[in-house]
Structures are given as structure tokens and as C-alpha cells.
Chains A and B, each alone.
Chain A
Amino acid sequence: MTPLVELDNVVAGYGGAPILNGINIEIHASDIGVIIGPNGAGKSTALKSIFGLLQVTGGAIRFDGEDITNRLPDALVPLGLSFVPQERNVFTSMTVHENLEMGGFIRDDDLSGTLSEIYDMFPDLKAKRHQNAGELSGGQRQMVAMGRALMSRPKLLLLDEPSAGLSPRYMMEIFEQVVRINKTGVGILMVEQNARQALGFASKGFVLASGQNRFTGTGQELLDDPEVAKSFLGG
């Protein structure tokens, strides 16, 4: 079976020395993939390289078997990829509702079905749908950002540290929603600092260091690996 997304020996960077030195990642539609690793390992860079936000200079990225290396975001969203950046991931001067509408910009059909699904998923947002996203708390903003990304009905959702800066309550809620979204048939690839919690529900874990794969396995395998635990999960 063709993987949903496949990074094949990818070398990429921001123009200077490459940050990714040949990494391999494979995700199926049923997977929740979690990328962990120390700061500067290239975790976010890996996500951005898939989404065409930086230059891939070696290797290939395939989506559903199709080569998408170095394609720009506005060509990738219609294919079924969606990306939630870590920072500045909502339109602060626009209402929650308008933020979601912008996520569905590429669609020409009626958005109301998807909108109500997202409001069901995040009831907090429904109550605040006419408020500007800039007035919301960090956790609610993250929900807006995820909702916006889901509006294009993606097959693959890329999340860059969705729990960064959130309280434990919101972190758990976001993680629960990630699992729920995955159950609807959306493949997930996320970068996470809260490695233990994330590997707990991940079907695939990738440990990156210095822009290369160090360990790959199921979430549980990585949690059980004494070396991973010692070096990357804080003992």
C-alpha cells in the first residue's frame, strides 16, 4: 500500500548549510506520526519541507505516490495537505468564523457542513465565533488554528508543536482531538515537545537529531527503548 506521505532521504535548509541531512519518514492515512528530538534537530524543518516552505535540495517527497518536492502551499492544499504553524497561526484581526472560512478558501462548495463539524469538535469556538481570534486564549487559538486547517478537508494534517505554551488541560484536549481527527481517516504528522504524552498515542515515532533519523518505531517501542528514554525523554 502506498504511504500517504513519504520523505525519501530528504536534504533541506534555508539556503545555507542544510538542516535536514537525509531523513526518512513514512506515514499512512491511519497513522499518527510524532517527531521528537532536541532543539535544532530539524523537527519543524521536516514539516516545513513537506509543505513547500523551504528549499528541498536532495531526496524526494511523495504524497499518495505523487512527487510533491518543492511544490508551493497553494498547490498542496488542494491535494489534501494542511499545515498548522507553531506561531502566528490565526488571523488575529478576523473573527473565529472568518478564520475558519479562510481555511476553506480553496473550496467552491458549501462550507456549512464542515463548519458545524468543527464547532461540534470545539464547542468553545462556537460560543466565540463572532469574536476576533486575537482576543482568545492560547488554547482557544490553537483550536481555531486546527479548525482552520481542517476546513480544507485534508487527508494529511501537519501540526507543529500544537501543545506549545498550553496548560495541561488544553494540551490533553488538543491531543484528544488529534486522536479523534485521525479516527476519521486523516493522517497526522506532528512535532511535539511533550514527547512522553505524544508517544503514548502515536502509532509511529521518529527521533531526529542533527537532521538525521536516530530511532524509528511505534510510539510504545520508543517509550520502552532505554536509550531513547535516557537521551530524549529525560530519563
Chain B
Amino acid sequence: MNELIFFFNNVVVSGLVLGSIYALGAIGVTLVFGILRFAHFAHGDMMTMGGFVAFLLASLFAAWGLTLPVPLGFAVLPLTFVITAALALGIDKGFYAPLRARGAKPVTLLIASIGVTLIIQGMIRLFFGTGTYNFFEGAPKELYRIEVPLEEATRTINFSQPQVLLLLVTVVTVVALHLFLTRARLGKAMRAMADNADLAQVSGINTALVVRVTWIIAGGLAALAGTMLALDVTLKPDLAFNILLPIFAAAIVGGLGQAYGAIAGGFLIGFAETAAIFNWSILLRPFRDALPEFIEIPNNLALVPTEYKLTVAFIILVITLLARPTGIFKGAST
């Protein structure tokens, strides 16, 4: 029983946490691709940027002596969303919009976004240095332990407070996004433009407005993901750059341009990664005595060593592209 709880904590809980981060990031990547038709490489750094915005705000409020029952980093999320969305709009206006106006090809925009990546990382290092920051200086993170009502269970199912808040943020975001895309006039216009940009223009849809809304959503969600990731682990200048590749894999696996696909792809890759690095021999140990003597359970039965976790996303990506090149939800072909 304890082994099962260990499995639950390490695969299910971690998978949910990682999947939520990937999903929130991949939604932004996929929306930007759907509307502007280029792979936005700076998306990971937009997430990191959001994390630092939240950290600045939280430090500011902490300096004013504000204390709340939830972490300050979480409390400042709405403001962080707004500020990061504004920064995303500024980045578009400063770097991508002038290129679009000259009819730049998607690959040019992609290269420009690599430049933006370097700029954001450079700025963060310039102002914050290369060190790591913790939202919970001094005070430890609150841990929720759920007792399993079984006699032989001595371990508990554990969620840290930031993890619970992250799952909450993800659920609220997904529901809000669904309502926006299916009910709101602008949300439908976004889907229309991703479906057929020429026809959207011919229909009189204000495509410049749709582009702005796309950056607000992509930047805002990046801020949520970055902040929640920083709350769960720690904040550092390459926080989300390191997970940019699984986020892209999630967007592609789900089908580029498909918001629901990005969510599914995010959780698929999140769970696959945690399952792949899990030491499965732990689950076999209770059966040790029942096995014949010549079968010995190895100490480590993980599918891939932890340091090669990133390869899991690529294996899934390769299989998807071979079997279903447009992704699970039939997005743009890549």
C-alpha cells in the first residue's frame, strides 16, 4: 500500500503539476501559432519574465508588511497577468509587428523570437543576476497530507500548497478559455482567424484586434505558468527556457493551433515524463517473496534516468509525427 501511495505522489501528483505547467505554456504557443503562423521561441522566457514580475510585486507587498493566508506570489497573479500581457503586447509592437508589416515570412519571425529570447534572458540577468530566488524565504511551504484510510498505509498523499493552487489556476484557466473561445465574439473571431485568416479578413473581422487579444492571452497565461512554476520550485533566469522544448512538443503533439490539443498534449507529456523516470521496481518489491529465487528485482527499473527526462517529450513527439503528423486534434501540419 505504501508503495502505491509513493507511486501516486511521484507519478500522479508530479504528472498533474508538470502537465499543468506544460499545458498553460503550450496554450500560448499554439494560439500564437494559430493566429500569427510562427513558432514563438521566446515563450519560455515570457513565462520566466512573468515569474520575475510576480516576484517583484510580491517583494514589494512584503516590504509594505502585507501578509495573507496564501503565498504573496499567488495573490499578485491578477496584477502579474496584466503586466506581463502588457509586456507581451509591447514585445509584439516592438519586434514582430514591424516585421509583419513588411510581409516577413514565418521563419524570419521565428528567428526574431530567438533574438527576443536572448534579450529577455539578458535583461533578467542584468537586473536580477544569475542566482535563484525563493518566494518562501524563511517560511516553509505549507504541505497538505491526505491520510489514506487503510491500516497498512503509513505514508500520506502529499500536495504542497503551491501545487494545489497551480491545479486550481489551471482548471479555472481552462474553463475560462473554453468559455471565451466558444461564447465570446472575439474568442470566436480568434478561432475564425486561426481557421482561415483570408476569409476572416474578408468578413470584416478586425484582425489587428485579434492579434492583440492573442498576445494578451498568451502573455497572461505565460505569466500564470511561470509564477506557479517558480512557486513550486524556485525562480531563476533560465526557469522556463529549460522546459521550452517539452512545451513545444506538447503544442505539436496536441495539434498546432488547437487550444484543447495543447492542454491534452501538456498533460500527456507531463505524465509520460514522470512515469518514465519513476523507479518501477518499488511497485514490484511487495511481491519479492512470491517470486522464484532466480528472479531478482533490480534496484532501479526506471525507463530513463532522471537527467534524460527531456528525451521522453521527443520520443512522444517523434511517434506522433510519424503516426499522425497533424497532432491529436488535427492542427496545422508541421
Contacts and interface: CB of A to CB of B under 8 A. Distances in A.
B204 A74 contact: yes
B198 A102 contact: no
Interface string A80-99: 00010100111111100010
B191 interface: yes
Contacts of A102: 188-189, 192, 200, 203, 205
Interface string A136-148: 0000000000001
B192 A94 contact: yes
Interface string B224-256: 000000000000000000000000000000000
Interface in A88-138: 88-94, 98, 101-103, 105-106
A73 interface: yes
B188 A152 contact: no
Q: Which of B189, B204, B205 has most A Cβ within 10 Å?
A: B204
A73 B204 contact: yes
Interface residues of B, number: 17
Given A74-B201, A101-B188, A105-B189, A92 B206 contact: no
Contacts, number: 61
Contacts of B203: 77, 102-103, 105, 148, 152
B202 interface: yes
A105 B200 CA distance: 10
Given A102-B189, A102-B192, A105-B189, A91 B204 contact: no
Given A94-B188, A94-B192, A105-B189, A85 B198 contact: yes
Given A98-B188, A105-B189, A92 B204 contact: no
Interface in B184-229: 185, 188-189, 191-192, 195-196, 198-207
A78 B191 CA distance: 21
Nearest to A92: B195
Given A98-B188, A105-B189, A74 B206 contact: yes
Size range of the chain A interface in the assembly: 20 to 34
| Interface of A: prevailing SS | loop
A103 to B, nearest CB: 6
Interface string B40-67: 0000000000000000000000000000
Nearest to A158: B202
Q: Which of A53, A78, A93, A102 has most B Cβ within 10 Å?
A: A102
Contacts of A105: 185, 189, 203-206
A90 B201 contact: no
A78 B204 contact: yes
Nearest to A76: B204
Contact of B196 (A77, A92, A98): A92
A51 interface: yes
Interface string A55-83: 00000000000000000111011100001
Interface string A184-214: 0000000000000000000000000000000
Contact of B192 (A77, A78, A91): A91
Contact of A94 (B191, B202, B204): B191
A177 to B, nearest CB: 19
A90 to B, nearest CB: 7
Nearest to A88: B196
A148 to B, nearest CB: 7
Contacts of B199: 85, 88-91
Contacts of A92: 195-196
A73 B195 contact: no
Contacts of B205: 74, 102, 105
Contacts of B200: 91, 102
A93 B204 contact: no
Contacts of A77: 203-204
Contacts of B198: 85, 88
Contacts of A93: 191, 195
A152 B204 contact: yes
Contacts of A103: 203
A218 B185 CA distance: 43
Contacts of A152: 203-204
Interface string B57-97: 00000000000000000000000000000000000000000
A91 B202 contact: no
Contacts of A85: 198-199, 202
Nearest to A74: B204
A148 B185 CA distance: 15
Interface of A: 51, 53, 72-74, 76-78, 83, 85, 88-94, 98, 101-103, 105-106, 148, 152
What 10 pairs between A and B have smallest CB-CB spacing?
A77-B204, A106-B204, A91-B195, A102-B192, A93-B195, A105-B205, A91-B192, A102-B203, A73-B201, A73-B202
Given A53-B202, A105-B206, A148-B203, 5 more contacts: A72-B201, A77-B203, A91-B200, A94-B191, A102-B188
17 contacts: A73-B201, A76-B204, A85-B199, A88-B196, A88-B198, A90-B196, A91-B196, A91-B199, A92-B196, A94-B188, A94-B191, A98-B192, A102-B189, A102-B192, A102-B200, A105-B205, A148-B203
